Amino acid sequence: MGELVRYQNSLQHTTSWVRPKSARALLVRTLRKEFDQSAFAAEEIADESLAWMSQVQGLTLPGSVRLSVPETASRRYAPTRRRTATVTAVDVDEDAEIWQIYGLAVLQRRRLIRWIYEIYRQGGYASLTELAAWANLTPTALEHRLEPVRELGIWLPHVGGPKPGEDRQALDAWLVRRYLEFGDVSLERSVLGISEGSFRRMMRRLGQLMSDSQSRIPGYSDVEHEHLAAVARWATLHPRLHHQAATLVDEWLQPIGKSPVESNAFTAFEGQRYLQWLGETVEELGLRTLCDDEMVFFALAADQGAGARLESARVLPVHLSYFTEQDIAAGYRSASRRRVFELKFGRIERYANEAWEQGALLSLPDLSLLMGMHTAAIRRKILAHEGRFVPTRGRIWHIGARPRPVRRDLHPRTAANS
């Protein structure tokens, strides 16, 4: 019982440390402080702003990264036929929420599903071997994560994977139909890692198709649209669901992808001022100038001391090299039995040093969310490489108790051969 309480406290600390530094949290704080919006209105406008920004041509949102992926589902040609796709490597708000509610394994599963569908929507196919390396998992661990998804009958478009069919439905269509049939999908959501916000967006898409069967969902693939449109037709025509379908349209239907100043209490002047501020923020973050394999992540400025409060501390956008050629060499192209061990530490070390070079410091919770690992595991990786200096916030500002030394018989790697 004591171990469980300590774990829950550690998890609460991890998520509470990273969530105030998300892009959404930054928007909410600005809307409340500079534009005098209520807490509820600020959250609504922030969500609309992020949805609107995601559709701006050439704009890469914080946490997103452009990566090379196969453009074919053929295993034979996947290594050579490539294209670039933008994936949400880290969604701070949603990932932290899923981790806190459902646990780390479900967070890892949700990220894998998100990457697979994002790649497919851009004309590519995910390579499970590459996805395992992005997620710091072995191929075997990745298969264990995805097995429950396949057992539910959800179609996963990846290299070497099966084609969609009646027994393999796209995620959104499968989940909303199950909701209409059974009324409760809490168990399924806990397996898939679907947050309340994500589920509401699925229902909004269904409502849009029920209201206008000719409409198109922004960013959806043809297969996803076809599957969800079939569910919309079934829900509208099925006698038992006729009243429920009409209620869904009234409760869930809202325009998708609108400007963030179209559906709130902004005056015309304040609305223009907010859009101007939003544009300036985009330029300040450097979201239009990111290189491939590079992402923006928010971290506390290095001069913010141990007593800094997250709500008022200075936060900087730092550019991190998310997955590099060195990671590929240390990961799935490595012949070493310890390849995941070396891949993990290499990324931890690089993220921390790149942030420090840009005047910011990553904390262990920051690194945990970036890596999809527990903070204790991050700490062990750093201690196992005692000869390599990793500039985390705790080390620079001497925050937290010093962890116990690493047993050398468990971690035989020494500083000399690091």
Separation between Cα atoms, residue 321 and residue 418, nearest integer Å: 21
- Please check whether residues 326 and 247 belong to one and the same domain: no
Identify whether residues 108 and 63 lie together within a single domain: yes
Q: pLDDT tens across 147-181, in order?
A: 999 999 999 999 999 999 888 999 999 999 999 88
- pTM reported for the whole predicted model: 0.89
* CA 281 to each of CA 227, 278, 301: distance values in angstroms, whole numbers, following the listed order: 37, 5, 17
DSSP per-residue codes, 330-341: HTTT---TTHHH
Q: Please indicate, yes or no, whether residues 179 and 136 belong to a single structural domain of this protein.
A: no
Whether residue 295 sits in one domain with residue 413: yes
pLDDT of residue 408: 34
Helices in 238-338 by DSSP H: which ranges?
242-252, 268-285, 325-330
Q: What is the pLDDT of residue 94?
A: 93
Query: Is residue 311 in some structural domain?
Result: yes
Q: Tens of pLDDT along 38-94?
A: 888 888 888 888 888 877 777 888 999 999 999 999 999 999 999 999 999 999 999
Q: Provide the 10 A C-beta neighbour count for residue 160.
A: 13
pLDDT higher than threshold 90 for residue 340: no
Q: Which residue has the higher pLDDT, 203 or 104?
A: 104
Which two three-digit tokens encode residue 286? 């450097």
Alpha-carbon distance of 403 to 376, in angstroms, equals: 9
Q: What is the mean pLDDT of residues 300-323?
A: 90
- The answer on 176 and 131 residing in a single domain is no
Residue 137 phi/psi, 5-degree rounding, is -120, 155
Any domain includes 2? no
What is the number of domains present in the chain?
3
Question: Which one is predicted more confidently, 338 or 351?
Answer: 351
Q: What is the DSSP string of 78-116?
A: TTTSEEEEEEES--HHHHHHHHHHH-HHHHHHHHHHHHH
Is residue 213 in some structural domain?
A: yes
Kindly state the tokens that stand for 97.
């929420």
Give the tokens for residue 167.
């027994």
What does the pLDDT average to over 230-252? 68
Question: Which range of residues forms the domain containing residue 69?
Answer: 59-147
Whether 207 and 305 share a structural domain: no
Any idea which residue has 């900087």 for tokens?
316
Tell me how far apart the terminal alpha carbons of the chain are, to the nearest angstrom: 38
| Number of Cβ atoms within 10 Å of the Cβ of 357 | 12
- The fraction of the chain above a pLDDT of 70, given in percent, is 85
Residue 24 lies in a domain: no
Residues 128, 174 within the same domain: no
For residues 366-391, give the mean pLDDT.
93
